[in-house]
Amino acid sequence: MTGVDKVVPWLSCYKPNPASKLRLFCFPYAGSGALIYRDWSRSLPAHVEVCPVQLPGRGSRQRETPFIRMDQLVKATLREMRPYLDKPFAFFGHSMGAIIGFEIARLLRREDATLPVHLFVSGRSGPPVRKPTTHTYNLPDAAFMDELQRLKGTPAEVLEHPELMQVLMPLIRADFELIQTYTYTDEPPLNIPLTAIGGLQDEITREELEGWRAQTTGAFSLRMLSGDHFYLTTNQQFLLPILAQELSRNGLGK
């Protein structure tokens, strides 16, 4: 199999790299899409092919119905990714995307399939989350908008654009329902390297990120970077070298 073709609906590989030694599949946070990873290939090793996952309901798939149940999304995503797992691969996911990548890795293990060489989880507490989940996906529009403003993940110019928010609101609500109704099922830890990354000013604390340590018997590392929950868009100059360094430890990112 050569590089990932741009026309694959589930994968938006902005810079196909047929000569790559490793594929890095990137999963989005709630309300976002593959576009947030568009420029990552510029700052990662030349032999890494960055493969952002484009879930239904966003970008070129805007007219498709987004998933609201994690188990269904994980199975469907893996089904579409499977042809591109023919060479070593790693997963990166932020917030909602961290759980998607984690659960796909566990599904691969249940199938006795090849596992990622590295799992990067960002901006998400390690499961199981001990504190109760507050459901906000079904709030009235005004209260839901207040919640989006509090999270600071939606640009002000978007929040202040009623027509645009009318288009985006169903997707954001669906993604919130997807992650807020997610139920962790206890399984043995994975046996792969796992790196947890967070923002120093995020509500997700270092202690909560430390919870990921229990999810692997392989090497575990925890990195904290300056920024809030969306540090990955404001602090890429420090985030991407961490990924490059960890991938190079596998002898595949050089």
Q: Read off the pLDDT of residues 115-163 as tens digits, 9 standing for 90 and up.
A: 999 999 999 999 987 766 788 998 988 898 888 888 766 766 677 787 8
Asked whether residue 207 is assigned to any structural domain, the reply reads: yes
For the chain, residues with pLDDT lower than 70 are 1-7, 131-132, 152-153, 155-157, 250-254
Asked whether residue 157 is assigned to any structural domain, the reply reads: no
DSSP label at 216? B
pLDDT of residue 253: 45
Helix and strand tally (H, E) in the chain?
Answer: 8, 6
Asked whether residue 39 is assigned to any structural domain, the reply reads: yes
Asked whether residue 120 is assigned to any structural domain, the reply reads: yes
Known catalytic residue at 95: yes
Q: What 3 state SS string does 117-128 have?
A: CCEEEECCCCCC
Of 12, 20, 41, 95, the catalytic one is 95
Domain, as residue range, for 26: 22-131+188-249
Asked whether residue 212 is assigned to any structural domain, the reply reads: yes
Asked, as a colleague might, if the bond just before 128 is cis with ω within 30 of 0, I would say yes
Asked whether residue 241 is assigned to any structural domain, the reply reads: yes
Q: Residue 210: CB partners within 8 Å, gap ≥ 6?
A: 126, 196, 222
pLDDT of residue 211: 96
CA pair distance 223, 235, nearest whole angstrom? 13
Write down the pTM of the prediction: 0.92
Q: What's the CATH number where 238 sits? A: 3.40.50.1820
Asked whether residue 35 is assigned to any structural domain, the reply reads: yes
Q: What total of structural domains would you count in the chain? A: 1
Asked whether residue 171 is assigned to any structural domain, the reply reads: no
